[in-house]
Amino acid sequence: MIWYQKEIILSRRRGFHLITDEVLRNCPEIKKISAGIMHLFLKHTSASLSLNENASPDVRRDLETHFNRAVPENASYEHDLEGSDDMPAHIKTAIIGSSLTIPIRNGRLNLGTWQGIYLCEHRNNGGSREIVATFYGENKL
């Protein structure tokens, strides 16, 4: 059994962003694993991680539109010292989540054909986001 842990720092504007390729570039050791697990954990409370459609950018735009309607800014939140986008960002993160667990098979993430990893940035100016990637499994022969 082999274990790896990396910290990946990404910065994005507000929206839903496909980051699968960046995760893989930062974790080339995945190629050494025949069967295992990758766990991704986002160390923030106003952005989230998700698995979703990896081909059509329309899906990412529609998700952003939907969540902005479902959790509007300026809705009389008590927690508003950091701006009108802060509390809605916390709510969106609570709904979507801050971690993912993905199987590894034969040196690759074992995702479905149309699945990709999203960084969901819920703040207008969220800044740098740290993702801890922990992956382990059987050493590929």
Q: What is the pLDDT of residues 120-136, one digit of tens each?
A: 999 999 999 999 999 99
| Mean pLDDT score across all residues of the chain | 96
Q: Mean pLDDT throughout 89-104?
A: 98
Is residue 77 over pLDDT 80?
A: yes
Per-residue pLDDT band at 60 (split at 50, 70, 90): very high
pLDDT for 54 equals 96
CA distance 59 to 129: 22
Domain ranges of the chain: 2-139
Whether 102 contacts 24, CB under 8 Å: no
The fold of the 2-139 domain, in CATH, is Jelly Rolls (2.60.120)
Report whether pLDDT(85) > 80: yes
Closest CA to 118 of 32, 27, 56: 56
Residue 141 has pLDDT above 70, yes or no: no
**Confidence (pLDDT) at 140:** 78
Contact 124, 60 (CB under 8 A): no
